[in-house]
Amino acid sequence: MNSIAPCCFTAALLASVSAVAEPTIEYGFIQLGQLQLNDSETTVFDGSQSYSGELDDLPFINAGVQKILGGETFRYGYEGGALVSWQNDDISYAAKSDSSGGTLKIKVNNELFMFGTFLGVLGDIKLSEYARIHVSTGPMLAVASVAQEQQEDPENLPESQNGTIIIDGSKREFGFGYGWYAGAGIAVLPVKNTEIGLAVRQQALRFSFSDDIYHDNYDGTIISLSIGYKM
């Protein structure tokens, strides 16, 4: 009988703590935006000759979960999720000719696919039952594949000194990327448990491709439409 009483007391205490503890709040989200690169210049090489071009903005999708661990008006927690980006377009490159002083031009079809993950600490300000502001920061990891193929346009292509094409499109490159991000956003709940808002994220993301045929610096700003759900 004496051994049963402490067990009953412990069970009652745990039940009372569970009853008063605040439930964890979670928000699922997807952010649809564009990455505006800080440095959009990219370069390909033909021996000692380099050709410079400009990359367009990249579509960028972040999706994940924000978990509130504590706080009332000023809350804290963490977030984690996945990122996806891609690019499939033609890039025009140009270089000064050493012999004539004119401009040499090539056009390259660029295919890029990027996938990664992020995990960061989260700060959240509850403005009301229908609006909140959130900030977050943390590391990023990503992998990317890229293939570039020179377009067959003899009128615009310079002849390579060694008689071969400038870019070998038969080979696909894979690279590993790492970096950091910091973001902020505002969200409102127009209907029950459904959020819509605006998110801005600054990121520094670098890749290590094996050949110097592609842009490896993805530092920039992402402005996104954010859609979420309070779980």
Q: Is residue 113 part of a domain?
A: yes
Structural domain includes residue 198: no
Per-residue pLDDT of the chain (231 residues; tens, 9 = 90+): 555 554 554 455 444 434 444 578 999 999 999 999 998 766 666 556 666 667 778 999 999 999 999 999 999 999 999 999 998 765 555 555 555 555 556 566 678 899 999 999 999 999 999 999 999 999 999 999 887 666 555 444 444 443 334 454 456 788 899 999 999 999 999 998 999 999 999 999 998 876 555 567 889 999 999 999 998
Residue 20 belongs to some domain of the structure:
no
pTM recorded for the entire structure: 0.75
Q: Which domain holds residue 74?
A: 31-176+206-230
In a domain? residue 216: yes
Report if residue 12 sits inside a domain.
no
Q: What is the DSSP string of 76-130?
A: EEEEEEEEEEEEEEEEEEEEE-TTTS-EEEEEEEEEEEEEEEEEEEEEEEEEETT
- Residue carrying the six token digits 């891609």: 86
Domain count, the chain: 1
